[in-house]
Amino acid sequence: MQVKVNGFVVSSDVLNKRFRPCNFRTCGNGCCSDGALVSTDRIKKIKKILPKILVFMRPEAVKMVKTKGFYINSRFSRFDLDPENEHYFTRVVKGKCVFFKYTAEGSCVLQNYCAKNNIRPNYKPPGCWSFPIDSVGNRIVVVKWKGLKCLEDSNVKNFPPIYKSCREELTDFLGRKGYRELLKKVKKIKKN
Ligand code: SF4
């Protein structure tokens, strides 16, 4: 089952799979272990706040950023990425993105800094914000399946399907009206 709304195809994984709401302290932030996709636009923004956020980062990340920069040199490409920008992944140090650090407020230094300083939209990369869903072309899909407790079937039986638990993220892709339309279409399909 997949559903078309507002030019997007919402994949069957989004409609059927379940997601355990994030508990980063118990899962060890597996979703931050590969780094994050950042466009040159976002890189410019992050560079502006970088001197101020170094103090909140892990010492090993600061060392990495000072010597090599916060993103890897090889360019990443995918058919649907904005051609006006180049795209790169943030660097990983000791198994986590350079912007990762456990704190009481959360574990993304970019997110925490922007939230505290009222910087909107937040500089947290879009794929991190919408996790575990993302758009690839016109498809909305579930990303990063393997090794994440929040997405493992055995851990998530009692939680709602992703299209319900990620209402806010889906609304961002589809709009409020589009999200309501999605709910209606899914309800109709489930009845039949
Ligand atoms: S940018 Fe933030 S949320 Fe995204 S991978 Fe890095 S630490 Fe995690």
- Enter the pTM of the model: 0.90
Phi, psi angles (nearest 5°) of residue 119: -90, 115
**Same domain as 120, residue 187:** no
Nearest CA to ligand 1 atom 7: 100
Neighbours of 10 (CB within 10 A): 28
Please calculate the CA angle 62-143-169 and round it to the nearest 5 degrees: 90
Residue whose CB lies within 8 A of the most ligand 1 atoms, among 128, 143, 144, 169, for a mutation test: 128
Q: What is the DSSP letter of 20?
A: P
Q: How far apart are CA 98 and CA 58, in angstroms?
A: 8
The finding on whether 112 has its CB within 6 A of some atom of ligand 1 is: no
Q: Is the CB of 90 under 6 A from ligand 1?
A: yes
Cα 190 to middle of ligand 1, angstroms: 36
What's the token pair of residue 64?
């990495």
Among the three residues 131, 147, 167, which one is the final residue of a domain in this structure? 131
- Determine if ligand 1 sits within 6 Å of the CB of residue 124: yes
For 71-87, letters b (16+ CB in 10 Å) and e give beeeeeeeeeeeeeeeb
132/83 Cα distance (integer angstroms): 24
**pLDDT of the chain along its 192 residues, tens only?**
899 999 999 999 999 999 887 776 667 788 899 999 999 999 999 999 999 999 999 999 999 999 999 999 999 999 999 999 999 999 999 999 999 998 888 889 999 999 999 999 899 999 999 999 999 999 999 987 677 888 887 778 888 999 999 999 999 999 999 999 999 999 999 887
- Measured from the Cα of 34, ligand 1's closest atom is 5
- CA 149 to CA 174: how far, in whole Å? 27
Please indicate, yes or no, whether residues 14 and 30 belong to a single structural domain of this protein: no
Same domain, 122 and 152: no
* Full domain range(s) for residue 157: 1-19+137-192
| 47 and 92 together in one domain | yes
> Of the residues 105, 131, 157, which one is the last residue of a structural domain?
131
Contact 127/135 with Cβ under 8 angstroms? no
Is residue 177 domain-shared with residue 94, that is, in the same domain?
no
Q: 12 and 104 share a domain?
A: no
